[in-house]
Amino acid sequence: MRLPGLIFFAVTLLFNTAIASQYSPSASQDNELIEQGDYINSDGQDVHSPAHTRSGNAPDGASAKCRDGTYSFSQHRRGTCSRHGGVAEWLN
């Protein structure tokens, strides 16, 4: 009876560790971004939510600047900046 519970716990732990390792912003990026938070994208990956920067410059890993001034870290074009006025410009 205990073995299925232990297996479930181990699988859950491994899955959560794999998800956490997919997205790990640098300490400097976390300090530069005003808003914190993340979401799970359509691929099941953890992605930082759109955020303003303290300097106003594009942070590492940003894919687009939204019309409200936030920077998006979206990995797909569809839906990028959808709740932030749309895309103002795509970044490299």
Residue 33 · residue 59 · CB < 8 Å:
yes
Give the pLDDT score at 8. 60
pTM for the whole thing? 0.68
User: Which residues, 6 or more positions from 91, have their beta carbon under 8 angstroms from its beta carbon?
Assistant: 58, 62, 63, 64, 65, 71
Q: Per-residue pLDDT tens for 35-90? A: 999 999 999 999 999 999 999 999 999 999 999 999 999 999 999 999 999 999 99
